[in-house]
Amino acid sequence: MSDNSPVLSVSGLTKIYRHRGFHLPGRPRPADLVAVNDVSFDLGEGEIIGIAGESGSGKSTTVKCVARLIEADAGEVVLGGVNLMSLRGSALRAARKSLQVVFQDPYSSLNPRLQIGAAITEAGVAHGIEGARDPRFVAELLDKVRLPASYAARLPRDLSGGQRQRVAIARALAPNPQIVIADEAVSALDVSVQTEIVNLFLDLRDLTGVSVIFVSHQLPVLSALADRLLVMKSGRIVESGDTQKVLRAPEHEYTRALLAAYPDPDRALSRRGFRTGGAGDE
Amino acid sequence: MSEHVRDDELLQISDLRIGFGAKPGEASPIVHGLSLSIGRGRILGLVGESGSGKSLTCRAVMRLLPDGGHVLSGSVIFDGRDILAMSKSEVLAFRSSEIGMVFQDPFSSLNPTRRIGSQMIEAIRNALNLSKEDAERRAVSLLEEVELPNPAAKLRMYPHELSGGMRQRVMLAIAMAARPSLLIADEPTTALDTTTQAQILELLRRIRDVDGTSILLVSHDFGVIAEMCDDVAVMYGGFIVESGPVEEVYLRPKHPYTKALIASVPTLAVPERGYRRPTIPGPPLGTTPYASGCPFAPRCALARPECEDVSMTLLPVASAHTSACPFGGE
């Protein structure tokens, strides 16, 4: 966390999916969908922000608008003094160097016929990183995500889901970004592997000072990771604040509902009348 | 686990070995001599990581192993009959009427080009000998049971018009059409939001409470298991490494894998800055071939040379609680 000026400043971000084309005659025209509604937040240097919410809450659309993978209808995204929304072509590509995205599905985000080393090199070359073709470049990135250098010669199919997600993170780190956006990056993984990836993000932040926006529908994943939480519902941020504060004393009804729905093993067993000793819960 | 078939058990799997290969003779084993049983009206959780063999076990029970998968040995006794010894036509009749199944992905288990109604009516008529009209009435009442609002209108919809939670309710309704005595639910809530997951779990619990249906619930999430199950079997590398009443196994785990799995479960507790939740070290499942002994030994902090010779027999720990670690996880 940093007291300095934010690395990234999002204000008034809005995305509307307008209803186009055919609708039945005589019926009212279907309403437009406001996927992201006036979302504003700052991201500090070395800060990890968690965005929580359910399917359709607008959390993925928000971060995709921030990365300009989707065009927003209104709002500003200021990175290093520049409004990303106004950039085009090579200037936008250059700005993307500082802002990288990791997606949910480690099975579809890697080219199945490209060796891991080549996939990482490709990410470096695409951003014009000097020395990206050097095997040492690949080895260093693999080391950052705790994979042995020998993995460079493997294909995605030889890797487990967690290992593939590490490779996706290594690719994101290739241009040495200031910000990594992780969009449900652990949702497809086993619980125990989720924890590994969460720990990896924490280590990377401590090591490199990278800022992270981590989108997840699982509050427990964010509890150990995020410094600050934004809870989204129907395109709006309904609650935000220090992770500890939001989880311990949620103010919004929706946050409370999310917390109550999570199957915590200790809570479940004590509700069923077993003595749990309370470890882990509270 | 006992070798004898007990009367109060609905499903009894004994020494099930499943392998993959072009022919059964060349198949390399993935599930190694698994035994488990589910009592009538009980919910048994099968927990473990991807690749541990949970889904293959479920599919073997349904005789739905994917191409190249073979049952190498063992028996699956359901209500006194060996499913593995049934003929194809017997299996077909049996599948639609005695065991229901729901899978993880409600997006791919329904046909996207057909209306919910026609898919449900087809399934219902396969399971029960009903006229089209009766099957449609039955479909409406089944959708009411799984708490889908406005069921008659839902029958006219296509799968893409429903949310993930609604589709999973439709799948449950289809699975329950013939009032099967066993429901196999393979990661039924993994693809769903937390609040939707809570609703589907509640629904499963009610199916058990009202109909007395036994449920085999597969999950990689100990939270879901603790919420739902009476008993749990922990799988790793094609073996059951520990089993027993869920509270026993969760609160007093004996196998090092169970301990590590439970410790790695994310909770809502916010740790101190700099804290890292424990993970399971070493090569993940499926990246190294299984040789002999305990499959978890390469990742076990407590491994010793003897682990290579462990037979993976479940040894009693406490009443009904068994563990395959002969060193008591110490």
Q: How far is A195 from chain B (nearest CA, A)?
A: 6
Reported residue count of chain A is: 282
| Whether A223 contacts B269, CB under 8 Å | yes
Counting beta carbons within 10 angstroms of the beta carbon of residue B11, is it exposed (0 to 12), middle (13 to 18) or buried (19 or more)?
buried
DSSP letter, residue A55? T
Question: Could you tell me how far CA A85 lies from the centroid of its own chain?
Answer: 19
Give me the average pLDDT of each 10-residue run along chain B (330 residues): 58 95 86 94 94 92 92 94 92 86 82 94 89 95 93 94 91 92 93 89 94 95 93 96 96 95 87 87 76 90 92 92 88
A68: Cβ contacts below 8 Å, ≥ 6 apart: A77, A84, A85, A87, A92, A96
Q: Consecutive 10-residue runs of chain A (282 residues): their mean pLDDT?
A: 77 92 76 93 97 92 94 94 91 91 85 94 92 93 94 91 93 95 90 91 95 94 95 96 94 94 88 69 38
CB contact under 8 A, B269 and A282: yes
Helix then strand count (H, E) for chain A reads 10, 10
Contact A114, A108 (CB under 8 A): no
Contacts of B15 (CB under 8 A, 6+ apart): B33, B34, B35, B73, B74, B75
CA dist., res. B215 & res. B208, Å (int)? 7
**pTM beyond 0.90:** no
Taking an 8 Å cut-off on Cβ atoms, the answer to whether B266 and A261 are in contact is no
Give the model's pLDDT for residue A273. 87
Chain B CB contacts of A274 under 8 Å are: 247, 251
Specify the residue for token string 């150990």: A224
Which residues of chain B neighbour A265 with C-beta distances below 8 Å? 222-223, 225-227, 250, 262, 265
Which residue in A161, A194, A261 is closest to B195 by CB distance? Answer: A261
User: Mutation test of the interface with chain B: which of A2, A165, A192, A203, choosing the one with the most B Cβ atoms within 10 A?
Assistant: A192
- pLDDT value at residue B8: 78
Interface mutation vs chain A, best among B50, B189, B201, B277, most A CBs within 10 Å: B277
First-to-last C-alpha distance (Å) of chain B: 22
> Alpha-carbon distance B84 to A173, whole Å?
51
Closest-CA residue to A158 (of A145, A147, A169): A147
- What's the longest Cα–Cα distance across chain A? 66
Q: DSSP label at A21?
A: S
Beta bridge partners of A239: A231
The pLDDT assigned to A272 comes to 87
Q: State how far the Cα of B135 lies from the Cα of B132, in Å rounded to an integer.
A: 5
Q: How large is the ipTM? A: 0.83
Task: Choose the mutation target among A116, A184, A190 for the interface with B, i.e. most B CBs under 10 Å.
Answer: A190
Asked whether the beta carbons of B232 and B243 are under 8 A apart, the reply is: yes
Between A159, A259, A272, which is nearest B268 by CB? A259
State pLDDT tens for residues B12-46: 999 999 999 888 888 888 999 999 999 999 999 99
Half-sphere exposure of residue B285, counting CA atoms within 13 Å on the CB side? Answer: 23
Distance from CA of B198 to the nearest CA of A (A): 6
Whether residue B227 and residue A198 make contact (CB cut-off 8 A), yes or no, is no
Q: Torsions phi, psi of A127, nearest 5? A: -100, 10
B155 in contact with A at a CB cutoff of 8 Å? Answer: no
Q: Which residues fall within 8 angstroms of residue B45, CB to CB, at 6 or more apart?
A: B217, B218, B219, B224, B225, B228, B229, B231, B232, B233, B246
Contacts of B196 in chain A (CB under 8 A): 54
Which uninterrupted H or E stretch holds B4? none
Cα Rg, chain A, nearest whole Å? 20
Distance (Å, whole) CA B280 – CA B52:
14
Tell me chain B's radius of gyration from C-alpha atoms: 21
* Residues from chain A contacting residue B277 (CB–CB below 8 Å): 195, 198-199, 224
**B281 interfacial to chain A (CB closer than 8 Å):** no
| Residue B221 CA: distances (Å) to CA of A191, A269, B232 | 6, 14, 12
Q: Which contiguous run of DSSP H or E holds residue B33? A: strand B28-39
Per the CB < 8 Å rule, is B251 touching A277?
A: yes
The residue written with tokens 């993000």 in the block is A201
Q: Which of A54, A195, A248 sits opposite B264 (nearest CB)?
A: A195
DSSP B237: T
pLDDT digits (tens, 9 = 90+) for B54-71: 999 999 999 999 999 999
User: Residue A222: closest CA among chain B residues belongs to which residue?
Assistant: B268
In degrees and rounded to multiples of 5, residue B192 shows phi and psi of: -105, 160
Q: Does B205 touch chain A (CB under 8 A)?
A: no
Residue of A nearest to B163 (CA): A55
A160 contact residues in B (CB cutoff 8 A): 50-51, 284-287
Q: Which chain B residues touch A194 with a CB distance below 8 Å?
A: 266
**Yes or no, beta carbons of B279 and A224 under 8 Å apart:** no
d(CA A11, CA A237): 12
Type of residue numbered A51? I
Nearest residue of B to residue A192 by CA position?
Answer: B264
Q: Do A55 and B278 make contact, defined as CB atoms within 8 angstroms?
A: no
What residue in B sits closest to A254 (Cα-Cα)?
A: B195
Gap from B264 CA to chain A (nearest CA, Å): 5
Which one of A55, A195, A266 has the shortest CB-CB distance to B277?
A: A195
Whether residue B49 and residue A192 make contact (CB cut-off 8 A), yes or no, is: yes
Residue B2: its pLDDT value, please? 41
Nearest CB neighbour to A220, from listed B201, B261, B267: B267
Residues of B in contact with A55 (CB under 8 A): 163-164, 193
How many Å lie between the alpha carbon of B162 and the closest alpha carbon of chain A?
13
Cβ contacts (< 8 Å) between B51 and chain A: which residues? 160
Residues 6+ away with beta carbon under 8 Å from B312: B32, B33, B239, B241, B293, B294, B295, B324
Which B residues, 51 through 70, put their C-beta within 8 Å of a C-beta on chain A? 51
